[in-house]
């Protein structure tokens, strides 16, 4: 399966030497043009070779059906990115870090638990995609509600097996109404406006963030923090906004991780603010973290 990505190289890089590299994963349901390219560019300006890529089944990467949920392959794509960077003459293969935004934070952590080549791991506005689907925010999903979701996914899976069209679920709304939830409004302001809207080539009929209904149940079996303490002694950095609805996931991961670890809370920032608000994103902290641990 071919994975598509953008490679960013510092303009003034001394090509007689090798440089540390950082892999950047996009928010869940997004594509590389939505947030991760920005981070990759900003970190390249600080001297890192960076790689922003589309998760399999998303954007310009291969995988059918489009927007399928396959957490194991999402995590494995970070290791595939390490493979690719390790072949580049400009990259020091012993100094490769990982940055995961939103859902990619959980995929990066999952990958790092079994891939020691990832020397430093950072997350921004992380979502634990397993817990978010099993339990909801602040444990707001009951067992009965979970079972209903699983039943609907199983029903749709069989429908598609017998020739019915693919169905999509969740994601960011395409229109606002008077009763649209504030969190949906937050995502809408990014994904459905000129601020962050992007249509992957050849996929105008499927908005980003919308998942296939039949595969969404796969997140129920995804536990990205299961062995997070085994990443130590490689360093971990968790960044979240003080106003982010998702802050619980960064706090949970920080509590479970072993040293060295750091939790940075950005005052006044919401979850989506850290996708693209350059006045709020602590690029200086990220630069210091990776520069201090990839050398």
CATH number at residue 103: 3.40.50.1820
Q: Is residue 150 part of a domain?
A: no
Q: How far apart are the first and last CA of the chain?
A: 32
Would residue 211 count as lying in a domain? no
Residue at 171 is within a domain: no
**188 falls within a domain:** no
Structure confidence at residue 201 (pLDDT): 87
Q: What is the pLDDT of residues 247-279, one digit of tens each?
A: 999 999 999 999 999 999 999 999 999 999 999
Residue with tokens 């950082």: 22
> Which domain covers residue 75, as residue numbers?
5-137+220-293
Is residue 250 a part of any domain in this protein?
A: yes
Is the CB of residue 146 less than 8 Å from the CB of residue 220? Answer: yes
- Return the structure tokens found at 195: 């601020």
Question: How many of the other CB atoms lie within 10 Å of CB of 49?
Answer: 24
- Domain contains 153: no
What is the chain's percent helix, strand, coil content, to nearest 5?
35, 15, 45
Tokens of residue 14, six digits: 């001394």
Please give the pLDDT value at position 204. 76
The per-residue pLDDT for 15 is 87
Residue ranges of the chain whose pLDDT lies below 50:
none
With tokens 């920080």, the residue in question is: 254
DSSP E strand stretches across the chain: 5-8, 19-25, 49-53, 91-101, 118-124, 168-169, 211-212, 236-241, 261-266
Cα separation, 291 vs 223, in Å, equals 29
Does a structural domain hold residue 284?
Answer: yes
Residue 214, token pair as written in the block: 């039949």
Give the count of domains, the chain. 1
Residue 206: per-residue pLDDT: 83
pLDDT of residue 100: 98
Residue 177 included in any domain: no
């Amino acid at each position: 399966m071919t994975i598509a990505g953008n490679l960013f190289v510092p303009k003034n890089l001394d090509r007689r030497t090798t440089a540390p590299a950082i892999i950047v994963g996009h928010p869940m349901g997004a594509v590389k043009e939505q947030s991760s390219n920005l981070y990759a560019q900003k970190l390249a300006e600080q001297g890192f070779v960076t790689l922003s890529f589309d998760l399999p089944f998303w954007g310009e990467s291969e995988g059918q059906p489009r927007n399928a949920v396959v957490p194991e392959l999402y995590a494995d794509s970070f290791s595939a990115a390490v493979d690719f960077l390790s072949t580049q003459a400009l990259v020091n293969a012993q100094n490769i870090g990982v940055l995961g935004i939103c859902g990619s934070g959980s995929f990066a952590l999952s990958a790092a638990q079994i891939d020691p080549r990832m020397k430093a791991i950072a997350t921004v506005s992380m979502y634990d995609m397993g817990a978010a689907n099993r339990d909801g925010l602040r444990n707001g999903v009951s067992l009965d509600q979970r079972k209903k979701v699983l039943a609907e996914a199983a029903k749709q899976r069989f429908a598609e097996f017998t020739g019915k069209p693919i169905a999509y679920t969740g994601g960011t709304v395409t229109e606002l109404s008077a009763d649209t939830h504030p969190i949906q409004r937050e995502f809408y302001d990014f994904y459905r406006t000129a601020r962050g809207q992007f249509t992957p080539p050849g996929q105008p009929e499927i908005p980003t963030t919308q998942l296939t209904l039949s595969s969404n149940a796969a997140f129920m079996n995804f536990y990205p923090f299961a062995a997070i303490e085994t990443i130590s002694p490689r360093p971990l950095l968790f960044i979240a906004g003080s106003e982010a609805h998702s802050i619980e996931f960064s706090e949970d991961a920080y509590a479970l991780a072993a040293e060295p670890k750091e939790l940075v809370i950005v005052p006044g920032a919401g979850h989506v603010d850290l996708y693209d608000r350059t006045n709020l994103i602590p690029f200086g902290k990220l630069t210091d973290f990776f520069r201090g641990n990839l050398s």
